[in-house]
Amino acid sequence: MTDSQHLYEGKAKILYRTEDPEILLAYFKDDATAFNAQKRGTISGKGEINCGISSQLFSLLAAQGIQTHYLDRPTPNSMRIRALQILPVEVILRNIAAGSLCKQTGLPLGMKLDQPLVEYCYKNDALGDPLLTRDRLLLLELATPDQLEEIRRLSLQINSYLSKFFASCGLTLVDFKLEFGLDKQQQLLLADEISPDTCRLWDNSTTDPNQRVMDKDRFRQDLPNVEAAYQQVLQRVLATTRCAAPLDFSDTVGDAGVK
Ligand SMILES: Nc1ncnc2c1ncn2[C@@H]1O[C@H](COP(=O)(O)OP(=O)(O)OP(=O)(O)O)[C@@H](O)[C@H]1O
Ligand SMILES: [Mg+2]
């Protein structure tokens, strides 16, 4: 990649232009950051692992009719994606209380939520990605009411598919972050990445609060074997996608929403 193709460098990925203005190349780095980039480090092999996991999950979601930016994976560390106008909203889906939800509400870590919780944060590093109310999000015109409705519907659907998929991997999808963007036709597509950097995943084979952590919380909390946990998630995702009997998602989503 040349300097002239370099478009943007974030904390986890570098975006490059391609010869097609509607297509970008996202290069996944080994760099790791936490607590609004106050903690920095490297997780060796992370770029390739996260690129691999994201590719598999985007393909799985596409097969379920969810439109994503993912096109293909020309190298282990990079994916070709549709160039989108990213909405400055981070959508957080929660199935189990953890992280900032516990900190801000006092709910105990590990409490199963009766129904998935959808939250929105302002994607703005300078402000520390603050939690938004629906009215603040609309006030700031970060999305239209129709887009917000669509984002909520899609996010619940994605949560439903991914929760079931990860359960087959022996993992609990505790919570995760999504980003959406608009293409030239103003269509809403799922963007960015889905990986142990952006999901909380707990290993179902143990209840030990340190051992069960299979995601970036290992890095945040200085737990050992961060790389091994990421690698383990990749191996389980690959094994589950390869398994002969495809997963049956028919009971996960109905017209009325997520069961
Ligand atoms: N399809 C896409 N089109 C355009 N930009 C995208 C697309 N998918 C993801 N991005 C953007 O790529 C950027 C780089 O990703 P990375 O994860 O490194 O960013 P970040 O450091 O987490 O976030 P940011 O730099 O936006 O605060 C992000 O700003 C993300 O929103
Ligand atoms: Mg990111």
Q: Is 190 in the pocket of ligand 1 (CB under 6 A)?
A: no
Quote the ligand 1 centre to 197 CA distance (angstroms): 13
| pLDDT class of 77 with cuts at 50, 70, 90 | very high
Q: Is 194 in the pocket of ligand 1 (CB under 6 A)?
A: no
Retrieve residue 145's tokens. Answer: 């009411």
Least confidently predicted of 58-72, 94-108, 183-197, 231-245: 231-245
Q: Which tens digits make up the pLDDT trace of 157-187?
A: 999 999 999 999 999 999 999 999 999 999 9
Percent of the chain with pLDDT over 90: 91
Q: Which CATH class is domain 85-224?
A: alpha beta
Q: Which of 82, 121, 192 to mutate to test the pocket of ligand 1 (most atoms within 8 A of CB)?
A: 192
Q: Name beta bridge partners: 199.
A: 176
Q: Which tens digits make up the pLDDT trace of 112-129?
A: 999 999 999 999 999 999
Q: Is 13 in the pocket of ligand 1 (CB under 6 A)?
A: yes
Exposed / middle / buried, residue 64 (Cβ in 10 Å: 0-12, 13-18, 19+): middle
Nearest to 194 by CA among 91, 50, 35, 42: 50
Which pLDDT value is given to residue 36?
86
Q: Whose CA is nearest to atom 11 of ligand 1?
A: 192
Which one of the ligands is nearest to 177 CA?
A: 2
Give the atom of ligand 1 at the shortest distance from the alpha carbon of 191.
8
Q: Is 125 in the pocket of ligand 1 (CB under 6 A)?
A: yes
User: For 183-221, where are the E strands, in sequence order?
Assistant: 188-191, 199-203
- Does residue 9 have a pLDDT over 50? yes
| pLDDT class of 244 with cuts at 50, 70, 90 | low
Cα–Cα distance, 253 to 258 (Å, whole number): 5
Give the atom of ligand 1 at the shortest distance from the alpha carbon of 13.
18
Convert 93-119 to b/e letters by CB count within 10 Å (16 or more is b).
bbbbbbeebeeeeeeeeeeeeeebebb
Quote the ligand 1 centre to 15 CA distance (angstroms): 8
Q: Name beta bridge partners: 92.
A: 119, 177
Task: Specify the DSSP element, H or E, that contains 71.
Answer: strand 70-75
Q: Which tens digits make up the pLDDT trace of 32-53?
A: 999 988 999 999 999 999 999 9
What is the domain partition of the chain in residue ranges? 3-82, 85-224
Which pLDDT value is given to residue 10?
96
Quote the ligand 2 centre to 82 CA distance (angstroms): 16
Does 3.30.200.20 match the CATH number of domain 3-82?
Answer: yes
For CA atoms 86, 134, 140, 98, give the dihedral sign: negative
Q: What is the mean pLDDT of the chain?
A: 95
| pLDDT class of 253 with cuts at 50, 70, 90 | low
